[in-house]
Amino acid sequence: MPSPFRDTFHITGYRFGHGTKSLAIVGAMRGDEIQQQYVCAQLVRKLTCLEEQGLLANDQEILVIPSANPFSMNIEKRFWAMDGTDINRMFPGYDRGETTQRIAAALFEQIKGYTYGIQMASFYIPGDFVPHVRLMRTGYEDTEGAKLFGMPYVTLRKPLPFDTTLLNYNWQIWETKAYSLYGGMNDGIESAITTEMIGTVLRFAQRIGLTQKPVVGIPDFNSQVIDESCFLSVRTPQAGIFYRLKGAGEKVHEGELLARIIDPYEGVIKAEITSPTDGIVFFAHNKPLALENTLLFNIL
């Protein structure tokens, strides 16, 4: 696609193997999804090695797209630089519509028709996650397939009306078994979680018969399936500097202190944020400022 300010806009994909369209993997669609792009780049490197060693299935194809939005990443903007729209809210796309609709249409044309689809996704609020697979309840969700990643949790979510334009939702409607993978943060490379995310994708590929090399050294869980309605949300009653005391994955008890909200002018504590229940911090906000009513934690 021609660009008025930069080089021609391209989306680059890497194909491995030939034959049945088996697995498509999509990385960054937003400009701050650095970890998602990094995971895909490492998958390209590892799949290249496996192909050279003859360890990929002969009659199956894997497609990896590390980034669908390099322009926004180049200028450090989360959404499309021109109008602030979100590519991941434009599926299945429209090839004669607005720019992000055209990008979504071009991308979806290439990735639909695969048996399995993996999106390295990010949340709409900045924060850290316990690694998990997320599915939308469309009637086509593949819960058993999601367990093959060996991640600690598989979460199910009832889609809202505006969720019908997400990639995960449309992949499922077009009969692809779609999974969204979440873990860690967006705008940073976290070695432990990043390594785990790479390993879980390769484990999934091995378990569905696309590679012949077992994955070792990566935790393999008997995934717990949970509905996201089970989460208890913790929000801040006041705006201020967010001083976090608990992070994703930590066990907490009812009444335990999770964070403080600090007055940005006087330095006094404006609010103390406590856990409403015993459980595990599934999501934790990670920016230093919080507006009133910001979602700070999800407790499982």
CATH number of the domain residue 244 falls in: 2.40.50.100
* 144 pLDDT more than 80: yes
* 266 pLDDT more than 70: yes
Q: Are residues 184 and 281 in the same domain?
A: no
123-126, long-range: CB < 8 A, 24+ apart: 123/182, 123/283, 125/285, 125/294, 125/295, 126/185, 126/186, 126/285, 126/286, 126/287
* 185 pLDDT more than 90: no
Q: Are residues 131 and 190 in the same domain?
A: yes
Q: How confident is the model at residue 178 (pLDDT cuts 50, 70, 90)?
A: very high
Q: Are residues 220 and 292 in the same domain?
A: no
Q: Are residues 63 and 192 in the same domain?
A: yes
Which amino acid is present at 139?
Answer: G
**Per-residue model confidence (pLDDT) at position 193:** 85
pLDDT, the chain, mean: 94
**Per-residue model confidence (pLDDT) at position 6:** 72
* 127 pLDDT more than 90: no
Q: How far apart are CA 134 and CA 168, in angstroms?
A: 9
The token duo for 27 is 């990385």
- Flag whether 150 is in a domain: yes
Residue range 44-67, pLDDT digits in tens: 999 999 999 999 998 999 999 999
- Flag whether 211 is in a domain: yes
* 187 pLDDT more than 70: no
Q: Are residues 152 and 270 in the same domain?
A: no
The answer to whether 64 and 43 have CB atoms below 8 angstroms apart is yes
* 150 pLDDT more than 90: yes
- Flag whether 108 is in a domain: yes
- Flag whether 81 is in a domain: yes
Q: Are residues 143 and 162 in the same domain?
A: yes
- Flag whether 3 is in a domain: no
| Mean local confidence (pLDDT), 64-74 | 93
Which amino acid is present at 83?
Answer: D
Q: Are residues 95 and 216 in the same domain?
A: yes
The answer to whether 237 and 213 have CB atoms below 8 angstroms apart is no
| Mean local confidence (pLDDT), 264-278 | 97
Q: Are residues 40 and 189 in the same domain?
A: yes
Q: How confident is the model at residue 186 (pLDDT cuts 50, 70, 90)?
A: low
| Mean local confidence (pLDDT), 174-192 | 84
- Flag whether 6 is in a domain: no
Q: Are residues 134 and 275 in the same domain?
A: no
Domain boundary among 205, 227, 249: 227
> Residue 168's closest CA among 222, 122, 233?
122
H or E element that contains 279 = strand 279-285
Domain boundary among 209, 227, 245: 227
Q: What is the CATH number of the domain that holds 47?
A: 3.40.630.10
Domain boundary among 195, 227, 259: 227
* 219 pLDDT more than 70: yes
Q: Are residues 92 and 144 in the same domain?
A: yes
Q: Are residues 21 and 146 in the same domain?
A: yes
- Flag whether 277 is in a domain: yes
Cβ neighbours around 139 below 10 Å, total: 7
* 16 pLDDT more than 70: yes
**Per-residue model confidence (pLDDT) at position 125:** 79
| Mean local confidence (pLDDT), 279-294 | 95
The number of domains in the chain is 2
* 132 pLDDT more than 70: yes
Q: Are residues 158 and 55 in the same domain?
A: yes
| Mean local confidence (pLDDT), 216-230 | 94
- Flag whether 242 is in a domain: yes
Parent domain of 133: 14-227
